[in-house]
Structures are given as C-alpha cells and as structure tokens.
Structure 1
C-alpha cells in the first residue's frame, strides 16, 4: 500500500517543485495542490538543495520484507490451500497467529503475530478474526 501511495504522491511533489520555482509560498502551494500546509513546508525545506530530485519518492518506508519474492509466491500458494491443509480443521479462517506457523515451518523464519500480517495483506488476505471469543455473548444476536 505504501508503495502505491508514494507513487501517487510523486506527481504532486513535482508540481510543488514547479510552484516553488515560480516563487509561490508554501501556504499557497498547499491550497493549490490540496495538501496540508505541513507537507508543503516540508517539501519547501527539501526543495532548494536538489530541486525536484529531493521531492521524488524513495519508496516504501520501514524494514524490507524478510521473504524473497519467490518465497512470497510460495506462501501465497500455501495460504490458498487453506488452514485445513496445515491442521486447523475447526474453521476455515486464516488468523495472523495461524499464518505465522507455516511461515516458520516452510521458510525457517520466526515471525511474530503482528509481523505475519504484513505478507498476508500484501497477498490480499485479511486476518481479522479474534483468537478468542467473548466469554459472555448473546448467541441469538450472533445468529441474527
């Protein structure tokens, strides 16, 4: 998601550089490009040294994925097989905790539950099922 987002912002940043070259102030650039004044001021601070190059996207932030692209493809195939193929037969839902197990077994990497959600999201899986159910819940309301 971040790569897509930064890719969309690069043309806006280049427009900002053009406006700064025309001596337009950051608040007016923010209004014209419909960005926050803080973003316009940050871009204005980066711009003088290298111009538009300083405003180009540097790609997604954060640490790189520890799985290679080939491993991510293999993980996708594993997840497509469903949780039952890995021993979870009570329901057919991938949770982040469940996804961390095949990652560890197949690729010999230790992923925390929160870390396991990143490759799952990249593969369009949505692990949002709670690990435990509420102790007191209204079964009629749930059924409805």
Structure 2
C-alpha cells in the first residue's frame, strides 16, 4: 500500500492502528460479528478478518505493532551531515557546475555513507526532510537585464499597439483593424 507522505505510517498513525486492532481483539472475545466490528471501527471487513485470524493464533499480543516496515537508511543525524555536504555545493564534491541532481545526491550518499539509494529513494528522502526540486532558470550568459527591461518598457508597447476598450457585447481580446 502506498501512503501520501511518500513512506510508511507515522509513529502516531501506527499507534492509532494498533489501538484499533486491540479494540477489535476485545470485541473478538465478546463474540461480535466481523462486519459489525469493521463498521464500528471504520475499517475493511478483510482487515478485521486478518486481525481475527492473528488473534485466534496468538492472542492480543499478535495484534501489537511490530514497528515500521523498514527503517530509513539515513537517520536524522546522518541526514544532517548530508545536508551540510549539500550546502557545500556540487563543485566541492567534484562536479563541474552548481546543480544538484538526484543522481549526484545518490552518488554523494554512496561515497560519504556507503549506503545505496535509488534515484526515487533519494527524491523521497530529500522531500521528507523539506527539500524541494528546483529547476534553474536558463539564461544566456550574454543577457543584459537593463536592455531587456528597456525593451519591455519602451519597444514592446509600440509593437503591441493600442487595444480597443471593451464595450458591452464586444470581446476584450480583439484589436482594432489594421490601418
């Protein structure tokens, strides 16, 4: 099952699910029907069936949370180290430009921590820690901002031409006929 936050359940959500399972176990002992339990706890009938089977084989302890399905490869402490490395920039780590890509971050994690991530795993990792994708603006090296601003202010209004005022029944997107 996929979760919206890009990983497994949070600790709070896992504890909530465990409380539901233990409440269901109580009701199994009272002999309640599966469909009634599912309706009252607002879960699927199939989940209650799985819980009932586990409860019948191992009692309430079989319904206790076993923790997260998998632990992240990089702990919060190691991610803090990675963050410091990322702030140094790609050039400090041997790349020719100042653009961090997911594959470069993946390589850095492998070099620095000897851990293997997929590109998608790196994307989830950095997103989980509040980083976002940034696409650099592609600008020509020769670009002259003052000349561009002047052109937009002076030349473009002349090229654009006057717009006809909107009147009821007319489209505001039409220009006057060419003279």
Say whether the fold is shared (TM-score over 0.5): yes
Is 1:18 the counterpart of 2:26? The answer is yes
What is residue 73 of structure 2 aligned with on the other side? 66
Q: Which has the higher contact order (CA 8 A, sep 6+)?
A: 1
Q: Conserved in 2, the CA contact under 8 Å of 1:76 and 1:123? A: no
Question: Which aligned pairs between 1:28-107 and structure 2 lie closer than 5 A?
Answer: 28-62=36-70, 64-79=71-86, 81=87, 85-87=89-91, 88-89=97-98, 95-107=101-113
d(CA) in 1 for partners of 2:122, 2:64 = 30
Shift of 1:23: 0.5
TM-score normalised by the chain length of structure 1: 0.68
When the two structures are aligned, how many residues end up with a matched partner?
A: 122
**Alignment RMSD, CA only?**
2.7
- Distance change (3 Å), C-alpha of 1:109 and 1:29: same
Structure 1 residues without counterparts, runs of 5 or longer: 131-144
TM-score normalised by the chain length of structure 2: 0.56
Shift of 1:71: 2.0
Structure 2 residues without counterparts, runs of 5 or longer: 1-6, 92-96, 136-179
The C-alpha deviation readout for 1:21-77, integer Å capped at 9, x for no partner, is 110011111001000111111101101233221111111214x43335532331233
Larger helix percent: 1
